[in-house]
A and B are shown apart, each in its own frame.
Chain A
Amino acid sequence: EAQVTQNPRYLITVTGKKLTVTCSQNMNHEYMSWYRQDPGLGLRQIYYSMNVEVTDKGDVPEGYKVSRKEKRNFPLILESPSPNQTSLYFCASRQGTNEQFFGPGTRLTVL
């Protein structure tokens, strides 16, 4: 089954404790992206990648890092999480067409 997977689905952590949210897709898509979703703000793009070793900042990259060492994986790294990064995070991928396939989401709470 073609899909985008994210782990973990839910995470509660404390300020300053480094964490990684994994994202993997099995569709051989070149493009992958991370979004955060907050009430009333829609989805805001954090980082995106057009291919292996090619990443670029979206609209809200501060406090986040990404890497794209393999085509299928695009982890999101929070080196020192803060409460304002409490949000719902979505990973997405696409290939050629304009349809983005979204993962199930990761709900992160930073205390």
Chain B
Amino acid sequence: NAGVMQNPRHLVRRRGQEARLRCSPMKGHSHVYWYRQLPEEGLKFMVYLQKENIIDESGMPKERFSAEFPKEGPSILRIQQVVRGDSAAYFCASSPVPDRRTQYFGPGTRLLVL
């Protein structure tokens, strides 16, 4: 049973470009969480999605960031007009129904903004 998959593993963007991060949850999991790990900081919650619904986006920056989890395909975290401060490791986690309390993390995408 494959784990949570994220791609790309590493992404380099110049300031002002767009970054798209993809997350395929574990088979059978319909809940996806995105977390960000900034250098020298801990993991911080960004957004929680179920298929076609954003349930909690309280950790998302108000501008330039968006997330989706379509009926088909992976969850996407999109960052528009990236700035150097967006450089971080972005992790996706998924959980099954009904045990939402157990979250399985992917390997992360390391975003570097030049």
Chain B associates with chain A: no
Chain A residues in the interface with B (C-beta under 8 A): none
